[in-house]
Structure 1
């Protein structure tokens, strides 16, 4: 077992039930399709954790489905072809399957694309964090596993990826979940008062980490409920947000619970939407 694998396991123990663990033939089939060998540390990552996410934020693409595929990366290149032709300065790296191009291996729920720069030996490929919305790139001369370790330890520059909450550490295997984002105004007391009320309303809860930004109104709290719903409560200068993630069959219960909670915090409701921006729960 490599030292990097031992370190990431020490920081984040693998889940009790690992899902979608690739077999040797799965790696071989993926490499054959891509025409590239995959880095050994990435294989260790998927073999140890399977499909899921670190801290409800960072994830590696599984081999199953279309995530780590030739077609997905071709579509990525084709989708940027017009923009590259118009503003080539925004694309300092080639895109796979161009020689040495960026190849997707993971991402974050903030929309960062985690890529390898596929030049040289696979085990020496550096990681590039690409935020496609604003054409920002950050190059790290390390592999995927070392990159994740640095992120977990808060060693990455904050402009590359937001640091995780201090002392937080978990990996959650993939589940089929729906998400609802409740945008709110107002509120009783301060942030910690409202978090306490939320914990009481949804209790018992399990803390999943918190973080504080640079401003007076820039806080975030993560926790899970006895039903294993995942909840994030955020405060920022323009308002408040409750994000709740739940299995599809529990939407009615999740909706009833969160709709009964926000008035207890002194909030008024703006709207509720999905991650894709579609308004829901309007009746």
Structure 2
């Protein structure tokens, strides 16, 4: 277990359930790249979750009705929609420099979470090692992107501890007194 996953487990506790196994090898076939190891470890331990009724970490589908080769389709569509939204935003605000390439492309972004404020939490897919991809937060309104030089698990630890700028805006703890809930009954 990675150090960051250990810190998350200390904050979140151990879940009282076991998510279904994810066919991670199908990610490369479907999307063209592997997922970072901390994301895989988080999803294998917790599955998709919602923090305080606000920030949702999405995952491959856990529905037993979905064949392995289609488990990543929801994540793919989610990111395609974001890509279209970013293109539309670029048309509205051409003066704003977009420092990242298209979604799901080398050098681009891939979202792994969002919140009720319409912020998107992404990996900057730079380089061939997904464990080195930093996190980029695309804040609502489109003109602010904050980079975090660490992986998804380190980022969640920083947000949950209030150590990342505007962490209180990324997870509104007033929405739900429960720190996190499993979304395994939802389909992603």
Do they superpose with TM above 0.5? yes
Structure-2 residue corresponding to 1:122: 130
- Quick one: distance in 2 between partners of 1:110 and 1:46? 23
Q: Deviations 1:231-281 (Å, cap 9, x if unpaired)?
A: xxxxxxxxxxxxxxxxxxxxxxxxxxxxxxxxxxxxxxxxxxxxxxxxxxx
**2:68 maps to which residue?**
none
Aligned length: 172
Match status 1:44 vs 2:37: no
1:113 and 2:120 aligned: yes
Query: Is 1:136 the counterpart of 2:144 in the alignment?
Result: yes
Report if aligned partners of 1:41, 1:123 keep a CA contact under 8 Å in 2. Answer: yes
For 1:176-218, what per-residue CA distance to the aligned partner results, in whole angstroms no more than 9, with x for missing partners? 69xxxxxxxxxxxxxxxxxxxxxxxxxxxxxxxxxxxxxxxxx
Contact persistence 2:50–2:180 (CA under 8 A): yes
Partner of 2:101: 94
Please state which structure has a larger fraction of its residues in strand.
1
Give the TM-score, by structure 1 length: 0.54
Decide whether the 8 Å contact of 1:22 with 1:46 is kept in 2.
Answer: no
Larger relative contact order, structure 1 or 2 (CA cutoff 8 Å, min sep 6): 2
- Give CA-to-partner distance per residue, 1:81-106, whole Å, 9 cap, x none: 34324515252211223331011111
Q: 2:86 aligns with which of 73, 80, 88?
A: 80
Change over 3 Å in CA distance of 1:109–1:83 after alignment to 2: closer
- Structure 1 residue runs of 5 or longer lacking an equivalent are 178-283
**Compared CA separation, residues 160 and 138, structure 1 to 2 (3 A):** farther
Aligned residues of 1:54 and 1:170 also touching (Cα < 8 A): yes
Q: Distance in 1 between matches of 2:46 and 2:166?
A: 25
Query: What value does the CA root-mean-square deviation take over the aligned residues?
Result: 2.7
TM-score by length of 2: 0.78
1:2 aligns with 2:9: no
CA change 1:88–1:43 in 2 (3 A) is: farther
Say whether 1:30 aligns with 2:39.
no
Q: In structure 2, which of residues 53, 58, 71 is the aligned counterpart of residue 61 of structure 1?
A: 58
Deviation at 1:158, TM superposition (A): 1.7
- Summarize the Cα distance change of 1:176–1:49 in structure 2 as closer, same or farther, 3 Å threshold: closer
Work out which of the two has the higher radius of gyration on C-alpha atoms and give 1 or 2.
1
Matches within 5 A, 1:170-209: 170-174=179-183
What SS class does the counterpart of residue 156 from structure 2 fall into? helix
CA offset digits 1:136-178 (Å, max 9, x no partner) = 211100100000001111101127844665xx7632112669x
In 1, are the aligned partners of 2:57 and 2:112 still within 8 Å (CA)? Answer: yes
